Copies of this chain bind each other. A is one copy, B any other.
């Protein structure tokens, strides 16, 4: 049994290496990659390998890497190991996991025990293991309680990218008015108004920009989500 570790930080890499050795005596080979690109290549070379993957990496982030790896071999088991439980990451991951694939998501702040347990559960028992904190977000982002619909999230990303209403309409095949409807819906959910008016006319906010800011501060969006969205946008621009 082989395990591939994809992780930026040398300290964390060697820590993972040890953890894998300790938790999985049946594992005979551990390979390391220090960024997403190298990770993809090694995953291709060692087809049977299970993967432990960091999410935020400079060169090519974990979500990108996981996506291409899963595209080639959907049955690959991947354990995501991340510092953050931002909704943006969680959403990003659940967007790309293939049907029925075994995967995991544990936070770097988890104890040694938790990590080792997760390693065994996923790689040996083929179970999904998702940290409680992360799980909470996942529920919210799927269930409609309080969380965001896909269409709301979509339009959030679109204005975050800086598209005009018209451009969004074209991209999503909607009428201009519908786009604006969704925007209002988004403004509602994000509570842009409360912070906005207070009741003085003075400190008014630009709703569109404010919505993005709030989303950022609430970690509905983050750098890597923006980066991905920007790439998709460019793609779309090119083909249109």
Q: A-side interface residues toward B, CB under 8 Å?
A: 9, 11-12, 15, 83, 108, 159-164, 166-167, 170, 192, 198, 202-214, 216-217, 222-223, 226-227, 230, 237, 240
| Alpha-carbon distance A9/B170, docked complex (angstroms) | 45
Known: A216-B223, A217-B227. A209 touches B167 (CB 8 A): no
Copies in the complex: 2
Contact (Cβ within 8 A) B206 A164: yes
Contact (Cβ within 8 A) B167 A204: yes
Q: In whole Å, how far is A212's beta carbon from the nearest beta carbon of chain B?
A: 7
Q: Which residue of B lies closest to A237 (CB)?
A: B203
Kindly identify which residue among B11, B161, B222 contacts A12, using a CB–CB cutoff of 8 Å: B11
Q: In whole Å, how far is A192's beta carbon from the nearest beta carbon of chain B?
A: 8
Known: A15-B11, A160-B213, A208-B209. A223 touches B226 (CB 8 A): no
Known: A11-B11, A12-B11, A223-B222. A159 touches B216 (CB 8 A): no
| Alpha-carbon distance A207/B160, docked complex (angstroms) | 11
With a cutoff of 8 Å between Cβ atoms, the chain B residues found around residue A223 in the complex are 216, 222-223
With a cutoff of 8 Å between Cβ atoms, the chain B residues found around residue A210 in the complex are 161-162
Q: In whole Å, how far is A134's beta carbon from the nearest beta carbon of chain B?
A: 15
Shortest beta-carbon contacts, A-B, top 5: A162-B210, A162-B209, A162-B205, A11-B11, A162-B213
Kindly identify which residue among B202, B212, B217, B237 contacts A240, using a CB–CB cutoff of 8 Å: B202
Of A167, A208, A216, most buried by chain B (CB within 10 Å of CB) is A216
17 contacts between A and B (CB under 8 A): A9-B108, A11-B12, A161-B209, A161-B213, A162-B208, A162-B212, A162-B214, A164-B204, A166-B204, A198-B237, A203-B237, A203-B240, A206-B208, A213-B230, A216-B223, A216-B226, A217-B227
Q: Which residue of B lies closest to A219 (CB)?
A: B223
With A162-B205, A163-B205, A202-B240 given, name 7 new contacts (CB 8 A).
A159-B206, A162-B207, A164-B205, A167-B203, A170-B202, A206-B208, A209-B212
Q: In whole Å, how far is A214's beta carbon from the nearest beta carbon of chain B?
A: 8
